[in-house]
Structure 1
Amino acid sequence: MRTSRTWWWLSGVIVGALGLGVSYLVAGLLRVRASPAVAVGEGVRDLTPDGIVHWAIETFRSHDKLALFVGMFVILTLVFAGLGWLARTRWWLTVTGYVVLGVVASVAVMSEPASTTTEMVPVVAGFVTWLIGLAVMAGWLRRWELVEASDDAAGDPTHSRRSFFLAAGAVAGIAVLSGVLGKLAGFQRAAVDRDRRLLRVEDATKPVQPRGVKVDVDGVPAWQTSADDFYLIDTAFVKPAIRPRDWQLRIHGMVDRELTLSFDDLIGMEITEDWITLNCVSNEVGGNLIGNAWWSGVRLAGILAQLGIQDGADAVLQTSDDGWTCGTPLEALTDERSAMLAVYMNGEPLTIEHGFPVRTIVPGLYGYVSACKWVVDMEVTKFDRIDAYWTDRGWSEQGPVKIASRIDVPDGGADVETGTLVCAGSAWKQHTGIERVEVSLDGGAWTSATLGRVPSDDTWVQWRAEVDVDDGDHQLRVRAIGKDGDVQTGVEHDVLPDGATGWHTVEFSAR
Structure 2
Amino acid sequence: MRTSRSWWWLSGVFVGALGLATSYLVAGLLRIRESPAVAVAEGVITLTPGPVAKWAIDTFQTRDKQVLLIGMFVILTIVFAVLGRVGRTRWWITVAGFAVLAVVAGIAVVAKFGFTGVDLVPVFAGFLTWMVGLAVMTGWLRRWELVEASDDEATDPTHSRRGFFVAAAAVGGIAVLSGLLGKLAGNTREQVERDRRLLRVEGATRPTLPRGVKVDVDGVAPWQTSADDFYLIDTAILKPNIRPKDWELRIHGRVEHDLTLSFDDLVDREITEDWITLNCVSNEVGGDLIGNAWWSGVRLAAILEEAGLDPDADAVLQTSDDGWTCGTPLSAIMDGRNAMLALYMNGEPLTVEHGFPVRTIVPGLYGYVSACKWVVDMEVTTFDAIDAYWTGKGWSEMGPVKLSSRIDVPNDGADVSTGTLVCAGAAWLQHTGIEAVEVSLDGGAWTAATLARVPSDDTWVQWRAEVEVGEGDHDLRVRATSKEGEVQTGVETGVLPDGATGWHSIEFSAS
Q: Same fold (TM over 0.5)?
A: yes
Aligned pair 1:414/2:418, yes or no? Answer: no
Kindly indicate whether the alpha-carbon contact (under 8 Å) linking 2:143 and 2:159 is maintained by their aligned counterparts in 1: no
Judged with a 3 Å threshold, the aligned counterparts in structure 2 of structure 1 residues 478 and 194 are, in CA distance, closer, same or farther, namely: same
| Cα deviation, residue 279, structure 1 | 0.1
Q: What do the CA deviations read for 1:45-78 (whole angstroms, capped 9, x no partner)?
A: 1112211111111111110000000110111011
Asked whether the 8 Å contact 1:321–1:375 carries over to 2, the reply is: yes
Q: Which amino acid aligns with 2:406?
A: R
Alignment pair present for 1:148 and 2:114: no
Aligned 1:153-168 pairs, distance under 5 A? 154-155=154-155, 160-168=160-168
Q: Secondary structure at the match of 1:306?
A: helix
Which position in structure 1 is the counterpart of 2:171? 171
How far 1:154 sits from its partner (Å)? 2.4
Q: Which amino acid aligns with 1:264?
A: D
Shift of residue 162, structure 1, vs aligned partner: 2.1
Q: Does the CA-based 8 Å contact 1:369-1:397 persist in structure 2?
A: yes
Task: Please list the CA deviations of residues 274-324 of structure 1 after superposition, one character each: whole Å capped at 9, or x if unmatched.
Answer: 000000000000000000000000001111111211121000000001110
Tell me if structure 2 keeps the 8 A contact 1:148–1:157.
Answer: no
Residue correspondences, number: 511
Q: 1:208 is aligned with what amino acid?
A: T
- Work out whether residues 153 and 160 of structure 2, in 8 Å CA contact, stay in contact via their aligned partners in 1: no
- Residues 151-182 of structure 1 show CA distances to partners (whole Å, capped at 9, x for unaligned) of 44623789712221121111111111111111
1:476 Cα deviation after fit: 0.5
How far apart, in 2, do the equivalents of 1:2 and 1:510 lie?
Answer: 73
Alignment match, 1:302: 302
| Corresponding residue of 2:108 | 108
- Asked whether the equivalents of residues 140 and 159 of structure 2 are also in contact (C-alpha less than 8 Å), the reply is no
Q: Is the 8 A contact 1:144 1:157 kept in 2?
A: no
Give the aligned residue type for 1:332.
A
Q: Deviations over 1:361-419 (max 9, x none)?
A: 00000000000000000000000000000001110010000000000000011011111
Amino acid at match of 1:499: G
2:373 alignment counterpart = 373
Deviation readout 1:196-239 (Å, 9 max, x if unpaired): 11100121000101000000000001100000000000011110
Kept after mapping to 2: 8 A contact 1:9/1:82: yes
Aligned to 1:504: 504
For the residues of structure 1 that align with 2:278 and 2:216, how far apart are their CA atoms?
A: 22
Aligned to 1:275: 275
Q: Which sections of structure 1, spanning at least 5 residues, go unmatched?
A: none
Corresponding position of 2:397: 397
The CA distance in 1 between the partners of 2:240 and 2:458, in whole Å, is 28
Write the distance in 2 (CA, Å) between the matches of 1:310 and 1:467.
Answer: 55
Residue in 2 that maps onto 1:327: 327
Matched AA of 1:425: G
Q: Is 1:198 matched up with 2:198?
A: yes
1:181 partner letter: L
Q: Which amino acid aligns with 2:29?
A: L
Q: Percent identity?
A: 76
CA contact (8 A) 1:343 1:350 kept: yes
Q: Supply the distance in 1 between the matched residues of 2:473 and 2:90 (Cα, whole angstroms).
A: 70
Aligned 8 A contact 1:15 1:130 in 2: yes
Q: How does 1:134-283 map to 2 (within 5 A)?
A: 134-152=134-152, 154-155=154-155, 160-283=160-283
- After TM superposition, give the deviation of residue 341 of structure 1 in Å: 0.2
Contact 2:16 2:130 in 1 (8 A): yes
Tell me what 2:120 maps to: 120
On the 8 A contact 1:339/1:360 being kept in 2, the answer is: yes
2:342 equivalent in structure 1: 342
Q: State whether structure 2 residue 53 is matched by structure 1 residue 53.
A: yes
In the TM superposition, structure 1's runs of 4+ consecutive aligned residues that sit over 4 Å from their partners are: 156-159
Partner of 1:314: 314
Q: Within 1, Cα distance between the matches of 2:398 and 2:152?
A: 79
| Separation of aligned partners in 2, 1:279 and 1:319 | 20
- 1:111-140 deviation digits (Å, cap 9, x = unpaired): 111111110111011000000000110011
- Name the SS for the 1:498 alignment partner: coil
Q: Deviations over 1:59-111 (max 9, x none)?
A: 11110000000110111011111110111111111111111111111110011
Decide which moves more: 366-375 or 162-171.
Answer: 162-171
- The RMSD of aligned alpha carbons is 1.1
1:11 aligns with 11
Query: Contact 2:207/2:294 (CA < 8 Å) preserved in 1?
Result: yes
* TM-score of the superposed pair, with normalisation by structure 2: 0.99
